[in-house]
Each structure stands twice: as structure tokens, then as C-alpha cells.
A and B are shown apart, each in its own frame.
Chain A
């Protein structure tokens, strides 16, 4: 298995543009998580899914952020419109049974909004 795959690795966009981040979890993992990493806040949980259903999106900063998981092998995190304060590294992670055995993280997407 190639692990959790995220794309793109880097994204530079202008303020106001729509940004879509993508994640492919490990096959057979029922849980998928989106985190944001910044120097000031560390790792923040944005949203997570169980069997493609969003369970908790209380960490999504505002309505500009949305996430979907149309099937077990794909998830997107969309920011529309993007703002400079959204600049961060966005991580996707998956796990077979919630937290019991920890997560497997993807390599992250470094987003820069100028």
C-alpha cells in the first residue's frame, strides 16, 4: 500500500481563488481526518469522516471551508474564497478503527495564499 496520498504537495494561489485539496486514504481504513498545521496553533482537527459520513466538523474554521468524501477512496477539502490566513500545511490521515492504533498521515499539502 502506498499509504495516505495527498495532492498537490504545494499550492500557491491568489486571495479569493478557490482551492481544492485531495486525499486518498489507505484502503480498508474506515476513518479519514483533515488537520491543519500552523506555527501558532500546531495541529488542529478540522473534520473527520467515518465510512464516508462526516462525524464532527466543529473544527472547520468558517463557511469558506467544506469537505466531502464521495467514496471510501477519496476526500476533498475545499476553501472558497481563500484568504492569506489560510496559509498552512494541511494533513490528511486515515485509520482502521478510530484512534486505537493511531493514524497514518499523508505527506501534507503546503498551501500559500498570496
Chain B
């Protein structure tokens, strides 16, 4: 079965510290993975897609098929990174996204 696991509900770090938001998935075949972010009182928005191999707002995520992981990383956290982060996996048909339960990132000074 397709599944996305985000083991941490809350991650608290200090400004300038490295951040790693964990995401593990269960999928048969080649997965399509995404990270979405929801800032306070704003709508969910796409942060990055694994297929693009991009870096957005200093965040990167590498697909590790051996560990079935797609962790989101940033070397130096900023206060404006505080938000809810969701990892998402494309379904087998490539038509819909399955989301994890989300991790709240809190960055304090």
C-alpha cells in the first residue's frame, strides 16, 4: 500500500541551526515525491518536487530509494521557515497525491 510517514509532529530548532524534516514512504516502483508548506493563515503551497532536483528558499530534498526516504533539509534555519510541512507521494496512477500527517517546524531566536 502507498503510505507516507512523517514521524515527527513537531520540530523545534534555533535560528541558524540545521533542519531535517523526515519523510519515509511505501511505494512499488518509482515514486514521485513532493514537499508542501503551509505558513500560518496561508494556503498550502508547493515547496519542491524531487523530479526537479531544485532548491527552494534554501531547502533541498534527496530521494533515497534504499531507505525509502525523502527528507527535507536546510543548513541554516530562519524564523520565517516556521510552518507546517507536508511530504506527499503520487499515487500509482500518477493522478493524485497522498500526504503525510505533517510536521510543524518552529524556529526561534
Residues of A at the B interface (CB closer than 8 Å) are 31, 33, 35, 41-45, 48, 50, 55-56, 91, 93, 98-103, 105-108
Contacts and interface: CB of A to CB of B under 8 A. Distances in A.
A44 B102 CA distance: 11
B63 interface: no
A43 B86 contact: yes
A5 B17 CA distance: 37
A99 B97 contact: yes
Of B86, B93, B97, B101, the most chain A CB neighbours within 10 A belong to: B97
Interface of B: 6, 32, 34, 36, 43-46, 49, 86, 90-91, 93-102
B24 to A, nearest CB: 14
Given A98-B94, A99-B90, A100-B94, A43 B99 contact: yes
Contacts, number: 61
Q: Majority SS of interface residues in chain B?
A: loop
Of A56, A99, A107, the most chain B CB neighbours within 10 A belong to: A99
B45 A105 contact: yes
Contacts of A100: 94
Contact of B43 (A48, A55, A56, A108): A108
Contacts of A93: 44
Given A45-B98, A45-B99, 13 more contacts: A41-B101, A42-B86, A42-B102, A43-B86, A44-B99, A45-B96, A50-B95, A56-B96, A99-B32, A101-B49, A105-B43, A105-B44, A108-B43
B95 A55 contact: yes
A102 B45 CA distance: 9
Contacts of B94: 98-100
Contact of A102 (B6, B49, B93): B49
Nearest to A33: B96
Contacts of A55: 95-96
Given A42-B86, A43-B86, A103 B43 contact: no
